[in-house]
Amino acid sequence: MRWLATLVLLIPLQAPAQYPSKALRMIIPFPPGGATDIIGRVVAQKMSERFAQPVVVENRPGAGGSIGTDLVAKAPADGYTLLISTNSTHAVAPVLSKPPYDPIKDFTPVTLLAHSANILVVSPRLGVSTVPELIAAAKAKPGALSFASSGNGTIIHLTGEMFKQMAGIDLLHVPYKGTALSVPDLASGRVSMLFDNIVSAQPQLRSGTVKAVAVTTQKRSALMPDLPTMSEAGVPGFESSAWFALFGPAGLAPEVRGRIHEAALAALNAADARERLVAAGAEPSGEDGEQLARLIRADITKWARVVKSGNIKAD
């Protein structure tokens, strides 16, 4: 048998296949056409060019993003199934309900792709132009002013609740099935204010249907550089933005994670990709997996505090 052992030693060990050696799946847990879908497709296209392998986008919507997110949580950790997720599925859903996945244990965070700012808009009939004026009006008539949202338990709803808590005011929450449906009531003054996506609000701002008073991010937005942040406008420490990030299943090998991060960074740094992302209201980021993991934990803590203080329940 000694000759067999010698023969085995002479056979060259086969090197592992170069990653990626086949097509990748990029799961987007929301319907086509939304911000997550737009960002995912821009990044997927550029990653495909860098990898010289197809990166196939699959929309798997349902249950507020939980269906597609859980699909990736249960996928093999080989780097061929990826997820574009948001804070709604990774930071809000876990504090409002019990999704079938653990946002920390079931995923490998790869990179933060982009942030998207929200802005606080008010009804022109309210007669206020600044955040201090809005707070003063709310304090003068506790419970008389209202804020619209895209539904109970959404980021838009929780942002309004956080504003109530941090400003020390009493507002009535009026949920809609999407923020666009609230615009007629904002125009007429039936509802007082709304935290809306900065891009989707542009047509209403141009027409004068609503009035912008502040942006919710830590820094001013490049899309509306003259608009102050909530912190600058009198609510120190206020921050609420949508973020979009790239994940793999838990247990992704460090070298594979590194390759994916490099490809995503190259995508974000491509001039045409950045132009498309900014046009969609997204500001490219690129932070690594460790930074993303810290962001998720901080967001979970923040929104859990808002939910508990506001006694908010999922529908």
Is the CB of residue 285 less than 8 Å from the CB of residue 217? no
> How do residues 16-62 score in pLDDT, each as one tens digit?
468 999 999 999 999 888 889 999 999 999 999 999 999 999 999 98
Question: Which residue, chain included where needed, has tokens 């502040």?
Answer: 214
pLDDT band at 10 (very low <50, low <70, confident <90, very high): very low
Tell me, yes or no, whether 211 and 290 share the same domain.
no
Q: Does a structural domain hold residue 126? A: yes
Q: Between vectors from CA 91 to CA 230 and to CA 308, what angle results, nearest 5°? A: 75
Q: Does a structural domain hold residue 5? A: no
Q: Give the whole-angstrom CA distance, residue 221 versus residue 118.
A: 9
Check whether 1 has a pLDDT greater than 50.
no
Instruction: Domain of residue 137: give its range.
Output: 117-215
Q: What pLDDT shows up at residue 280?
A: 81
Tell me, yes or no, whether 211 and 125 share the same domain.
yes
Q: Does a structural domain hold residue 6? A: no
Counting every residue, how long is the chain? Answer: 315
Q: Does a structural domain hold residue 203? A: yes
Boundary-marking domain end, from 180, 215, 250: 215
Q: What pLDDT shows up at residue 4?
A: 38
Tell me, yes or no, whether 109 and 246 share the same domain.
yes
Q: Does a structural domain hold residue 229? A: no
Is the CB of residue 121 less than 8 Å from the CB of residue 212? yes
| DSSP tag of 65 | G
| pLDDT average, residue stretch 79-91 | 94
Tell me, yes or no, whether 40 and 125 share the same domain.
no
Q: Does a structural domain hold residue 277? A: yes
At 127, which CATH number?
3.40.190.10
Which helix (H) or strand (E) segment is 193 a member of?
strand 193-197
Q: First vs last Cα of the chain: how many Å apart?
A: 69
Check whether 127 has a pLDDT greater than 70.
yes
Q: Which of 11-15, 237-241, 257-261, 275-279 has the highest mean pLDDT?
A: 257-261
Tell me, yes or no, whether 111 and 121 share the same domain.
no
Which helix (H) or strand (E) segment is 47 a member of?
helix 35-51
Q: What pLDDT shows up at residue 17?
A: 61
What's the chain's Rg over C-alpha atoms? Answer: 22
Tell me, yes or no, whether 122 and 177 share the same domain.
yes
Tell me, yes or no, whether 177 and 264 share the same domain.
no
Check whether 5 has a pLDDT greater than 90.
no
| pLDDT average, residue stretch 117-136 | 96
- For the chain, the domain total comes to 2
Q: Does a structural domain hold residue 137? A: yes
At 36, which CATH number?
3.40.190.150
* Three-state DSSP state, 113: strand
* Residue 169: burial class (beta carbons within 10 Å; 0-12, 13-18, 19+): middle
Q: Does a structural domain hold residue 298? A: yes
* Of 269, 243, 236, 211, the residue nearest 117 (C-alpha): 243
> How do residues 168-184 score in pLDDT, each as one tens digit?
999 999 998 888 889 89
| DSSP tag of 15 | P
Tell me, yes or no, whether 211 and 124 share the same domain.
yes
Q: What pLDDT shows up at residue 306?
A: 94
Tell me, yes or no, whether 142 and 285 share the same domain.
no
> How do residues 225-252 score in pLDDT, each as one tens digit?
999 999 999 999 999 988 999 999 999 9
Tell me, yes or no, whether 138 and 211 share the same domain.
yes
Tell me, yes or no, whether 33 and 73 share the same domain.
yes
Q: What pLDDT shows up at residue 64?
A: 82
